């Protein structure tokens, strides 16, 4: 890792979605963040909503096997990554540890990469959300603040802004880092990314598969993002993606 903890830079605090793909020169002058979704969890397999539940939602046996298969692939494709960051939730942390070991770097836990807190929806079967928690369901789908201690989409975005600001100050131009996170966070990246008008390319219901990838370029002096959607919803680092049908939250 090449962190510079004493270096503080004033950056804009808003997100500026890129309207076009950045040039090769612009990419060279940015820090690349490779977001990776965690492996399959117990609740993924049961199609239950996780949000920020933790101890109840570790990787299941299939998820552990996915990480073992995918970590060497991540290391081969992104062998130039200088750091691995991870949500502090167990399912992401354990995924990140496998990737970091394959790369030969440490894992830095960062709560800003947590899944969106889904309040009263957490722990419920996905099929029963509308019936069991109709107010929370509407808030979730509309981006509003979710009853039961949940977050709004804007609050989740604000955490991502702070993470990007940190990355821009801690890493130099041309560096690459891995960030292991969650389906809901990847959904926010997609909604605010360069290809927001192409949302049809990623159906969020079972669209962001485990070990899926989203690449974001962060520029110094502000934040412009660009998502690389190659393999976005196809289990980027797994050989057999067709078998993956885990939910995104």
Other C-beta atoms closer than 10 Å to the C-beta of 13 total: 11
Distances (CA, A) of 128 to 50, 92, 132, 137, 148: 14, 26, 6, 10, 17
* Bridge partners of residue 59, in order along the sequence: 41
Q: Which tokens belong to 141?
A: 């789908």
Q: What are phi and psi of 157, to 5 degrees?
A: -60, -40
Q: Across the chain, where does the E strand assignment appear?
A: 16-17, 30-37, 83-86, 107-109, 176-181, 213-219, 224-225
Phi, psi of 61 (to 5 degrees): -60, -40
Active site residue 115: yes
**From the candidates 20, 25, 115, 151, which is the catalytic residue?**
115
Examine the residue annotation and report whether 38 is marked as an active-site residue of this protein. Answer: yes
Residue of 14, 21, 38, 162 marked active site: 38
Q: Looking at the annotation, which residues are catalytic?
A: 38, 115
């Amino acid at each position: 890792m090449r962190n510079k903890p004493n270096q503080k830079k004033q950056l804009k605090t808003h997100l500026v979605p890129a309207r076009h793909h950045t040039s090769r020169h612009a990419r060279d002058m940015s820090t690349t963040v490779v977001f990776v979704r965690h492996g399959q969890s117990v609740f993924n397999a049961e199609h239950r909503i996780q949000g920020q539940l933790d101890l109840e939602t570790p990787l299941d046996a299939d998820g552990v096997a996915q990480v073992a298969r995918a970590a060497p692939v991540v290391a081969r494709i992104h062998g130039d990554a200088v750091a691995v960051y991870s949500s502090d939730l167990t399912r992401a942390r354990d995924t990140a540890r496998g990737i970091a070991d394959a790369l030969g770097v440490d894992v830095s836990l960062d709560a800003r990469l947590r899944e969106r807190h889904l309040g009263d929806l957490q722990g419920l079967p996905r099929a029963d959300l509308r019936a069991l928690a109709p107010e929370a369901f509407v808030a979730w789908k509309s981006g509003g603040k979710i009853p039961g201690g949940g977050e709004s989409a804007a609050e989740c975005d604000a955490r991502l802004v702070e993470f990007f600001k940190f990355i821009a100050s801690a890493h130099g131009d041309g560096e690459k880092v891995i960030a292991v996170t969650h389906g809901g966070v990847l959904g926010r990246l997609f909604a605010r990314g360069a290809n927001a008008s192409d949302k049809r390319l990623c159906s969020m219901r079972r669209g962001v598969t485990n070990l899926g990838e989203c690449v974001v370029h962060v520029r110094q002096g502000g934040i412009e993002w660009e998502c690389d959607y190659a393999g976005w919803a196809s289990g980027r680092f797994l050989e057999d993606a067709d078998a993956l049908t885990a939910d995104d939250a």
